Amino acid sequence: MRGRRVAAPGAPRAARADYWGPVLECPDPHALARFYAELLGWELAKEDTDGAALIPPDGVAYLGFQHAPGYVRPVWPAREGEPRITMHLDFEVSDLGAAVAHALALGAEPASHQPQPNVRVLLDPAGHPFCLYVDA
């Protein structure tokens, strides 16, 4: 991308200027960041009054959370006239049962529709769908 500096592999985080990642709107970005930090084992890298961000161990991408006044939970599967999801997160796991149990213990809830046997669709505490899956 033009205007973007690419850091050398292994460069310390403070020296980087090439981060990228999705940002989820939510009513409580700090609580949602803590949920995903526990779920994924990622580091809380930033927290301020408007949001928070997590960085995985490889330190290149991030997952951000932004306060959204008037936030309305999306509905999945989609229903006419209801707020639709615009994206979801996928996480490959090696033990689907253990990963689902961990997510549920942290406050996720199972979605009403499960489309594939090797995938579990869950909703985070703000209602965003995310998928845990094993490679079939």
- Given pLDDT bands bounded at 50, 70 and 90, which one contains residue 15? confident
pLDDT at 60 over 90: no
What was the pLDDT predicted at 1?
62
**pLDDT one-digit tens code per residue, 32-49:** 999 999 999 999 999 999
Element housing 34 (H / E): helix 29-40
Mean pLDDT of 70-85: 92
Mean pLDDT of 53-60: 85
Q: Indicate the SS3 state at residue 132.
A: strand
What was the pLDDT predicted at 6?
75
CB atoms within 10 A of CB 31: 15
Residue 108 in tokens: 């996720």
What was the pLDDT predicted at 47?
94
The CA distances from residue 33 to 14, 43, 77, 107, 117, in Å, are 21, 10, 24, 13, 28
pLDDT at 69 over 90: yes
Distance CA(111)–CA(121), nearest Å, equals 6
Percent pLDDT > 70 in the chain is 96
The CA distances from residue 42 to 22, 38, 62, 69, in Å, are 15, 7, 9, 26
**pLDDT one-digit tens code per residue, 81-118:** 999 988 899 999 999 999 999 999 999 999 999 999 99
Identity of the residue numbered 72: V
Full set of structural domains in the chain with CATH: 17-70 (3.30.720.120), 72-136 (3.10.180.10)
